[in-house]
């Protein structure tokens, strides 16, 4: 939806909503599409973007644009559009957190998203970043008074003992809304190689966004750790394999199942 909205702005058109191809399929697919719409609505409400990113399929779809047309990172870089959605999301999340958090709004906050679950050195090695990567970059940006929050999944190849021993706030299997709100309203955001990280990073007020190369290109101002980009750029086939979702059959099938809904621009 962010891509579609950015594309619409680039051609001076209005983004009108998201239409799931599954909504015209079998009953099972229709139920799945309905759940996806509900999930989108919750995320939009959590980020305050429901007014600029309508989630329902509009009744008139003469100008129906398939996702392959607009899913390009270049559209996200348009300054006017990016400034608008960032301002809305940051203002909404900051207001929500002032009413719900006991922490000082002025406290330096580092938020980290660690992609685990089905991503591990065996099934998806090209997407796996070890705990040491995150510990190194937390230490680089941490202040004496920093609040450090780690979001990840209970199913993990590595244990999280090192984070806990340092007194970091570890939160596992947290609702997406909560993860994104924290990532948007922080001073430092350390991403995973994941679209789950990429969306809130795009909206974040963070002065430092630590990005590791993967199939989504970094936005201006993001930080790529020294040596990481060069090492992967030298492997000509690396980005291609990532775009395919890895090298194993399971991951490629999974990527096909996760293709985004087609959206409408009018």
**Per-residue pLDDT tens for 128-186?**
999 999 999 999 999 999 999 999 999 999 999 999 999 999 999 999 999 999 999 99
Torsions phi, psi of 150, nearest 5? -110, 125
Taking residue 137's Cβ as centre, other Cβ atoms within 10 Å add up to 21
DSSP symbol at 59? S
**Overall pTM surpassing 0.85 (yes/no):** no
Structural domains of the chain in order of their starting residue, each with its CATH number: 105-254 (3.40.50)
**Per-residue pLDDT tens for 233-249?**
444 454 454 445 443 43
262 in Cβ contact with 66 (< 8 Å): yes
């Amino acid at each position: 939806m962010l891509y579609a909205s950015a594309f619409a702005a680039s051609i001076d058109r209005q983004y009108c909503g998201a239409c799931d191809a599954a909504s015209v399929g079998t009953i099972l697919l229709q139920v799945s599409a309905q759940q996806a719409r509900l999930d989108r609505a919750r995320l939009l409400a959590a980020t305050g973007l429901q007014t600029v990113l309508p989630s329902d399929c509009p009744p008139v779809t003469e100008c129906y644009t398939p996702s392959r047309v607009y899913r390009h990172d270049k559209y996200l870089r348009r300054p006017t559009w990016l400034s608008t959605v960032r301002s809305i999301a940051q203002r909404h999340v900051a207001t929500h957190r002032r009413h719900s958090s006991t922490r000082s709004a002025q406290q330096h906050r580092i938020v980290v998203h660690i992609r685990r679950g089905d991503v591990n050195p065996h099934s998806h090695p090209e997407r796996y970043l070890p705990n040491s990567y995150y510990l190194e970059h937390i230490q680089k940006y941490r202040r004496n008074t920093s609040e450090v929050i780690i979001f990840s999944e209970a199913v993990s190849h590595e244990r999280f003992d090192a984070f806990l021993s340092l007194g970091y706030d570890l939160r596992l299997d947290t609702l997406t809304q909560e993860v994104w709100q924290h990532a948007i309203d922080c001073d430092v955001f350390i991403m995973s190689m994941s679209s789950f990280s990429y969306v809130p990073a795009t909206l974040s007020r963070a002065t430092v966004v630590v990005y590791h190369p993967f199939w989504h290109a970094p936005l201006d101002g993001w930080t790529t750790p020294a040596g990481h980009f060069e090492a992967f750029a030298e492997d000509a086939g690396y980005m291609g394999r990532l775009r395919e979702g890895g090298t194993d059959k399971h991951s490629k099938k999974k990527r096909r199942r996760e293709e985004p809904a087609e959206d409408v621009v009018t």
